[in-house]
Structure 1
Amino acid sequence: MVILVCGLPGSGKSYFASRLAETIHAQYFNSDRLRKELFPKRTYSKSETAKVYEILLNKMEAAINTNTDLVLDATFHFKATRKPFISKGKGSIVFIEIQANEDVIRERLKEDRLFSEADLRVYRLIKEQWEALEQPHLTLQSTNDNIEAMLQKAVHYLKNEKRSN
């Protein structure tokens, strides 16, 4: 199973996605980390972003071909970005959207984060550009103290998704 964890910067998606991968013993790839590894000087250009998502797509295809569980962590905020994952996912992908209260996001974005360089300006830009998920998905609300509840809901959801496929 491939799980695409999406959401706005500061929503807690990477914190959640990395712990979900540990919980379900899945491989994990983070778009911010990948971008830092690929581009020592990041410009966030369309071509740079396209390369990051292309590699994530390749990771997904490899996981599907080897029947390996995988968690991909990125904003996935454009429908056009999600489309290749959906079409090549062969029905084996699940979306989980992470949301958080804007006050919580503002506080989180003030902190240094290991891989993400997004700040409040980037958050607002991506929020403005956000194209809602049309696929069935689980939406989880992130606070600063509910990671265990989020993981329990996600694992339950994923078990139900596995049964229906």
Structure 2
Amino acid sequence: MVVIILGLPGSGKSYFAERLAKMIDAEYINSDRLRKEIFLICVYSDKEKAKVYDMMLQKMKDAIQHHKNLVLDATFHKNETRKPFVTQEKENLFFVQVWADESIIKERLKRNRPYSDADFEVYQRLQQEWEPLEEPHLLLESTDGNIHSMLQKAAQYLGWDDDKKTD
């Protein structure tokens, strides 16, 4: 199973995605961490973004080939970015979009986050560029106290229970 977690900076997607990956016994790939592993200095150019998403796609192919669960965590804010993933895997690909009220996002983006450099200005730019997800997906609202509810809804959406763990 491959689960793509998408949303704007500060939405809570990474906090959620990391916990979901543990819950479903999946490898967790975060685009911000991957970017910092690949590039000494991150400039967020189109070429740099393409390299990060290409590597995520390769990780997805490897997971599929080895029958492993995988959670991919990135903004995925454009259809052209999502399309190669959808083309590659149609059977066991799930999308979960995480969103939060803008006031919560503003507060979250003021905090120090070890891997993300996004601030409120980046959030606003990506919000303007956002292209609605066309694929079936689960939409989850993130607040500062509902992670258990979010995980429960995701498990139900994915049809997940502990008996479905992969080897």
Superposition TM-score tier, normalisation by shorter sequence = over 0.9
Q: 2:27 maps to what in 1?
A: 27
Residue in structure 2 matched with residue 92 of structure 1 by the alignment: 92
- In the alignment of these two chains, the number of paired residues is 161
Structure 2 counterpart of 1:56: 56
Task: Please state if 1:108 is matched with 2:115.
Answer: no
Identity %: 55
When normalised by structure 1's length, the TM-score is 0.96
Unaligned 5+ runs, structure 2: none
Unpaired runs of at least 5, structure 1 = none
Q: Deviation string for 1:88-141 (max 9, x for gaps)? A: 013221000000000000000000001000000100000000000000000000
Q: Higher helix share goes to which structure?
A: 1
Matched ranges for 1:1-150 at <5 A:
1-150=1-150
Distance 1:127 1:96 in 2: 17
Structure 2 counterpart of 1:58, one-letter code: Q
Counterpart AA for 2:35: R
Q: In the alignment, residue 39 of structure 1 is paired with which amino acid?
A: F
TM-score after normalising by structure 2: 0.94
**How far apart are the structure 2 equivalents of 1:43 and 1:116?**
12
Deviations 1:39-65 (A, max 9, x none): 111110000000000000000011111
